[in-house]
């Protein structure tokens, strides 16, 4: 299998670029940031078909500027519609913030989405038509997929070499941290020699990196449980988590992401009976008596 790598700029501070991969001069893995410049660079490769790992803005761009046929997981197809009607997504995030008493100020960076009116132009294909093995690895997004070909895994944002993927919270969709950890365990059992992520460096020791990710999330779950020695609101919990950057130093968007990831942990713990919810004027979470002993 021939793998060409194209690094494209994104208008963010971290990460400031994204990789798209071109297999056998035919198949595009991911579609870059939503910009004409990125679309033109991808067009030079003349891809015949695209496989998109998930709906985030730095992975779907070429779909809006070409008629390339593509495959995405059905859950991601629904979510990618936010670029056509972004106000729907913003209202959804506002409702999460309202319900869980998260500051709506953190939503201001999302207002840029309200200017978008982008629609996918190409036709949807099935993974069977493409003759590619895709693996659902939810967590970063509900229908995130990885592509497996010739002992290589193209992991999108599900497995990164240096940072731990941000876990998001989708209250209307079932997939979450539990499914993510299960998917990682399944990937470990596959004959994978190398992982090509959408950001950072190529991973030449897949098992070691996956083990490190699994341990990180388990340790974070234990940390959240330890924090819950009294009923607390979501942002009170997020402020106490030992993120790689102190919560008080995070910009508004990353505070939003930290709160959503905290909700992902709480949702997992609640589903295991380790955390309960009380609601007086505001929703609070607290640890059950069996919480610490279980993890």
Sign of CA dihedral 246, 247, 251, 255: positive
Q: Return the bridge partners of 9, or none.
A: 17
For residues 121 and 134, give the distance between their C-alpha atoms in angstroms, rounded to a whole number. Answer: 23
What is the pLDDT, as a whole number, of residue 86? 84
Classified as helix, coil or strand, 145 is strand
pTM: 0.92
- 1-84+119-204 against 206-295: fold identical: no
**Residue-range domain boundaries for the chain:** 1-84+119-204, 206-295
Choosing among 1.25.40.10, 3.40.50.1820, 3.20.20.10, 1.10.10.10, the CATH entry for 206-295 is 1.10.10.10
What is the pLDDT, as a whole number, of residue 188? 95
Q: What are 175-228's pLDDT values in tens digits?
A: 689 999 999 999 999 999 999 999 999 999 999 999 999 999 999 999 999 999
For residues 175 and 110, give the distance between their C-alpha atoms in angstroms, rounded to a whole number. Answer: 23
Using alpha carbons only, how large is the chain's radius of gyration in Å? 19
**What architecture does CATH give domain 1-84+119-204?**
4-Layer Sandwich (3.60)
| Residue ranges of the chain with per-residue pLDDT less than 70 | 173-175, 290-295
What is the pLDDT, as a whole number, of residue 116? 74
Q: Return the bridge partners of 196, or none.
A: 154
The token duo for 180 is 């993510």
What is the pLDDT, as a whole number, of residue 10? 87
For residues 55 and 63, give the distance between their C-alpha atoms in angstroms, rounded to a whole number. Answer: 11
What is the pLDDT, as a whole number, of residue 200? 95
Sign of CA dihedral 78, 83, 84, 89: positive
């Amino acid at each position: 299998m021939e793998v060409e790598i194209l690094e494209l700029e994104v208008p963010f501070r971290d990460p400031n670029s994204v990789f798209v991969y071109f297999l056998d001069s035919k198949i595009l893995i991911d579609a870059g940031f939503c910009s004409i410049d990125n679309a033109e660079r991808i067009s030079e490769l003349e891809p015949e078909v695209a496989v998109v790992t998930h709906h985030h803005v730095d992975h779907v761009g070429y779909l809006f500027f070409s008629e390339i046929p593509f495959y995405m997981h059905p859950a991601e197809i629904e979510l990618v519609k936010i670029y056509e009607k972004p106000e729907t997504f913003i209202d959804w995030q506002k409702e999460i913030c309202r319900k869980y008493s998260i500051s709506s100020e953190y939503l201001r960076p999302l207002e840029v989405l309200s200017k978008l009116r982008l629609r996918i132009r190409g036709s949807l294909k099935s993974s069977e038509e493409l003759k590619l093995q895709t693996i659902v690895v939810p967590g970063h997004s509900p229908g995130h997929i990885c592509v497996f070909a010739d002992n290589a895994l193209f992991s999108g944002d599900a497995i990164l070499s240096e940072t731990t993927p941000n876990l998001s919270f989708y209250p209307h969709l079932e997939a979450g941290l539990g499914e993510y950890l299960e998917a990682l365990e399944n990937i470990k059992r596959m004959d994978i020699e190398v992982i090509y992520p959408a950001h950072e460096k190529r991973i030449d020791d897949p098992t070691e990196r996956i083990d490190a990710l699994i341990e990180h999330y388990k340790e974070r779950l234990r940390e959240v449980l330890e924090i819950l020695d009294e009923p607390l609101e979501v942002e009170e919990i997020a402020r106490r988590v030992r993120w790689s950057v102190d919560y008080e130093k995070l910009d508004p968007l990353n505070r939003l992401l930290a709160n959503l990831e905290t909700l992902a942990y709480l949702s997992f713990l609640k589903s295991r009976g380790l955390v309960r919810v009380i609601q007086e004027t505001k929703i609070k979470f607290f640890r059950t008596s069996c919480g610490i002993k279980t993890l």
